[in-house]
A and B are shown apart, each in its own frame.
Chain A
Amino acid sequence: MIAMYMFKYVCKRIGLMLITFTIIIITCFVLVKLLPVDVSTVGIGEDADKIIAQMVSRGYMKMDSSGKYVNTPIIEQLGRYLKNIFFYHDFGIGFNMPEYRGRAVWSVFIEKLPPTILINVYSAILAIPIGIALGIFAALKKNKWQDHLISTVVMVFISVPAFVYASLLLYLICFKLSILPLGVVSLPDIVTTYPEKGYVYQPGAFNWPLYFNKKMFLSMLPAVFSMSFGSIAGYARYTRAELTEVLTSEFMLLARTKGLTKSQATVRHALRNAMVPIFPMIIGEFVSVLSGSLVIEKIFQIPGVGGLYLASINSTDYDFFMMLSGFYLLVGLLAGLVVDLSYGVIDPRIRMGAK
């Protein structure tokens, strides 16, 4: 009965999410398509013609009676757009960014995805254990100097914007001390660095194997560190708050009177309960590894999705903008949904959607 109820609730939430997603994306699409397409920025000669030919073949443009190319009606374009996406996996082509002009949006996107995901995953792997450990330590030493120290540092790292300590890290570690490289190495570089491994760089593919070697890993580290500081602080603060609350509850007293040692009671009873709200946070983090951070990608010049998004905004490349906006929106909505639902899965006391 409860399972049925939960299933219905989950379906309802997913349905609502999809409705929200569709409304925003269609609004966005219409607003983007209302903009004039400026072929003059495309370049000269064949380039513009090629692009227009691509647009015509996709059904976004047609020749009018006077021989000029004009946009087809927006409704028609929307239909074509959806059809292209669902049947041919085609999100359009690059238009205004010189390096991606005429290239399929999807192929550029998947090429940019691995660095973004990797940096986020590394940062999560680093941040979650350290953050939770610091939080537990601070909670156990509540109101002692260790707790005050951790809380102060956590407060600083939560407040100070990422670009400040990313710059500091870049200046001190990468520039002054030269411990780590200044930016993420490019894939062709990796191919030439490790000739013995026989790497092949394929444009428009994930190129996963090229990311797993020492040089690439080291060059990603500064970005990983800058990214993890904030998360470490977040986890530490949250864990401390939850654990201190659980430690003062009455069942802990019972556990001690029952004869458990302090550490037994803490690990078996307090920690498990404190983890209930933290676990959804971790799941949420792993969903949003896809999106990454625009700021960090800009500072460390990571060839990731964030940089692509910024470039598409600044050079008014509509197809890239549409696809990436949709991607970020979907990741954001999914992360929120997964976090909400996982509360109910993890903690049986929470009845999802209960009135």
Chain B
Amino acid sequence: MRAEEYKISSEKFVLHSAGEQLHDEKLETKPVSYLKDALHRFTKNKASIAAAFIIGILFVFSMIGPIVSPYKVADEDINYAYVLPKNEFFYEHELGFWDGGRQMGVTEATYNLYRGIEQETGRTVIMTEPEVRQEEYMGKAVSYYDFRLDTYNVVGVKFVLLKHHEYVALQEYQDEYNVQVIFPITDPALRPEAEQDKTNANIWYRTKAGAGRKTATVFDENGDFIPIYQPDNGMDEYTSKMYYEGDEKLYNYAEPKDGGMWNVRVDYREYYKYLHHKAGDGIEYPSFLLGTNNAGKDLLICLASGARFSFILSIIVASVNLFVGAIYGSIEGYYGGIIDLIMERIVDIMASIPMMVVITLLKYHLNVSHIVILFVAFFITGWTGMAGRTRMQFYRFKNQEYVLVAKTLGAKDSRIMFKHIFPNAIGTLITSCVLVIPSVIFSETTLSYLGIVNLNTGSLTSVGSLLATGQNFLFTYPHMILYPSIFISLLMLSFNLFGNGLRDAFNPSLRGTDE
């Protein structure tokens, strides 16, 4: 009875979706490709993003720096050697640092010399009010003056040897731009007695013999310097209208030397501008953001071009290693057996050769630029790592079913290797390829630091040799080693963080763990 009640007549049934064709429903979500997934995971990692950003900045700095900077690596001026970092903004606003100033404690003779330079050139040399302190030195009380010294203006005036036409051209420049470059020559008869001071153009005032080999300044009754300019005796050919402090040619402005040369006393800052004006390279007054090294080269441009070389070298090395290593590793991994065994022994031996031995032997045998030697050495020792990683991936994937399917369908070996198996290795390879870059930069820096390769040619330098030079002046001019050190540390740190992020990003097993 009950069954009757529940009986539903067949007319009540209708076919659902009659006359329609049924399909699988299309996925509404977008497919996430491997690379997209990796990128997604990478962007989650804040430290890696920051590191990538810093690497980007350093890369741009090294690529753009040598192009936009007016200075070239070959530019050097020994008179501006060891000057400290200076930024014009900090200098003008007297902020007390990054202004080319250096804290000094000097004796009275040196202090007077600096005052003399200040008076002669009219520019500040002693930047802060000097503090005088008395100290016992070899049984005598000696006064020391502590102050901040302007390492740029202390250059003052210099003797330069000019040919006649250069001398005339300089005079014409003076008249055209209305600046005093040439200063009166000092009287050789009145020059200081101490031998080391005779060639010092900055001693333009009367001195007398002091203790030992030192000279002491002689002042007049007002406590002023007594000039020792050579009175005009018609020896030089000074035709410029620019006279020293408006005087009507009372003094000689040059001293005749052998071979028709003139020994001219020039205000070096203005002369520097004149030289660059003549060369037309857009440099005005000397001002070096990171200071200069012992040869008077701008450290900023040296650092930038050294870094540029490192980047270019490492990128080339990484890509060549990737290319060769990937092909070698694919062949090893895919064919296996005896081929693998032989090739693996070769890799074993190649990988054990110490870098130092390779570089040295190349250096001894090939009479080529050290750039080529570096490149060859990095290649010889570097590609084996890539080959090993590719081989591992091939061993993992070559026996999987989809490869068997491809084989059954008649795919050629090369197609299976590079179309079906190789893409699986890309993640690992990209990560290790990126990590090759800092390791090459690091090795290159170490090698040039140790002096095993010498990349210092006229227009090239390397971060390592900057560090090595800086090391020699570590206690006197620490700024020379500071900036290359900061650069290399920052670069290595960023690359490590970046590499970690990249490794996690290309590791699919970490998918979804952070969400």
Residues of A within 8 A of B (CB): 16, 20-21, 23-24, 28, 31-32, 34-35, 155-156, 158-161, 163-164, 167-168, 170-171, 175, 294-295, 298-299, 309-310, 313-314, 316, 321, 325, 328-329, 332-333
Contacts and interface: CB of A to CB of B under 8 A. Distances in A.
Most buried by B among A159, A160, A298: A159
A159 B435 CA distance: 12
Interface stretch (B71-79, B127-135, B444-452): B444-452
A171 B485 CA distance: 13
A328 B354 contact: yes
Nearest to B349: A20
User: Nearest 8 pairs between A and B by C-beta?
Assistant: A159-B493, A159-B492, A160-B489, A164-B485, A159-B496, A325-B357, A313-B360, A31-B361
A309 B363 CA distance: 15
A336 B307 CA distance: 33
A329 B357 contact: yes
B445 A161 contact: yes
Contacts of A20: 348-349, 352
Interface string B472-487: 0011001001000100
Contacts of A23: 349
Contacts of B348: 16, 20
A161 B474 contact: no
Contacts of A168: 485
A20 B354 CA distance: 12
Given A31-B365, A159-B489, A295 B349 contact: no
A21 B353 CA distance: 9
Nearest to A156: B493
Contacts, number: 96
A167 B475 contact: no
A167 B357 contact: no
B113 interface: no
B238 interface: no
- B interface residue count range (under 10 / 10 to 19 / 20 to 34 / 35 or more): 35 or more
A288 to B, nearest CB: 13
B347 to A, nearest CB: 11
Contact of B492 (A161, A332, A333): A161
Contacts of A160: 489, 492-493
B413 to A, nearest CB: 24
27 contacts: A20-B349, A21-B352, A23-B349, A24-B349, A32-B361, A34-B365, A35-B364, A155-B497, A159-B496, A161-B489, A161-B492, A163-B446, A163-B467, A163-B471, A167-B471, A167-B481, A170-B474, A171-B478, A294-B450, A295-B446, A295-B450, A299-B471, A310-B451, A313-B356, A313-B363, A325-B354, A325-B360
A13 B207 CA distance: 80
A170 B296 CA distance: 25
B452 A313 contact: yes
A298 B450 contact: yes
B145 interface: no
B173 interface: no
Contacts of A170: 474
Interface in B382-425: none
A80 B492 CA distance: 47
Contacts of B356: 294, 309, 313, 325, 328
B244 interface: no
Nearest to B352: A20
B446 A332 contact: no
B429 interface: no
Contacts of B345: 16
A329 B358 CA distance: 12
Interface string B326-365: 0000000000000000000100110011101100110111
Contacts of B354: 325, 328-329, 332
A249 B242 CA distance: 87
A157 B352 CA distance: 27
B129 to A, nearest CB: 25
A329 B497 CA distance: 31
B372 to A, nearest CB: 17
A314 B488 CA distance: 25
B496 A155 contact: yes
A161 B360 contact: no
Interface in B433-476: 442, 445-446, 449-452, 467, 470-471, 474-475
Contacts of A31: 361, 364-365
Nearest to A328: B354
Contacts of B481: 167
Interface string B96-135: 0000000000000000000000000000000000000000
A159 B492 CA distance: 5
Nearest to A182: B475
Contacts of B452: 310, 313-314
Contacts of B495: 159
B474 A316 contact: no
Nearest to A295: B446
Contacts of B446: 161, 163, 294-295
A28 B450 contact: no
Nearest to B445: A161
A329 B474 contact: no
Contacts of B352: 20-21, 24, 329, 332-333
B449 A163 contact: yes
Contact of A28 (B357, B363, B493, B497): B357
A14 to B, nearest CB: 14
A149 B489 CA distance: 19
B299 to A, nearest CB: 16
B381 to A, nearest CB: 12
A277 B485 CA distance: 33
Interface in B476-515: 478, 481, 485, 488-489, 492-493, 495-497
A20 B442 CA distance: 27
B481 to A, nearest CB: 6
Contacts of A155: 493, 496-497
